């Protein structure tokens, strides 16, 4: 597992997800979870949220994020009022998560 600190924390490497789930507790009790069209990668996170009673709203990204899509997701996110935005997936998913967190 590797880590480095920037304006935010990035954890990556073999076993990083399973070894880092408890980090979510530092950021609050609700999450906006951004996934790709196949949310299989996010299942450990979803299971952890349920175990920890962290409320979450999941949004799936299909293809490149368009401005209209970001605006629509951001409006829904503002109503949900998450404490954190978590993205798990490829580049479009990560880009969408960054845009939503801004």
Chain segment 31-77, per-residue pLDDT in tens: 999 999 888 989 999 999 999 999 999 999 988 999 999 999 999 99
The DSSP 8-state label assigned to residue 28 in this structure reads -
The answer, yes or no, to whether residue 2 has pLDDT greater than 80, is no
Give the global pTM.
Answer: 0.86
78 pLDDT tier (thresholds 50, 70, 90): very high
Tell me the C-alpha distance between 99 and 85, whole Å. Answer: 10
Give the pLDDT of residue 5. 54
Which residue in 48, 60, 3 sits closest to 24, CA to CA? 48
6 pLDDT tier (thresholds 50, 70, 90): low
């Amino acid at each position: 597992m590797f880590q480095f600190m920037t304006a935010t924390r990035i954890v990556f490497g073999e076993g990083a997800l399973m070894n880092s789930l408890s980090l979510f507790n530092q950021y609050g009790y609700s999450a906006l979870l951004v996934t790709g069209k196949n949310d299989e990668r996010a299942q450990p996170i979803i299971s952890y949220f349920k175990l920890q009673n962290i409320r979450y709203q999941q949004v799936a990204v299909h293809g490149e994020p368009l401005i209209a899509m970001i605006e629509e997701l951001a409006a829904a996110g503002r109503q949900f009022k998450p404490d954190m935005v978590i993205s798990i997936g490829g580049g479009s998913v990560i880009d969408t998560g960054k845009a939503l967190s801004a």
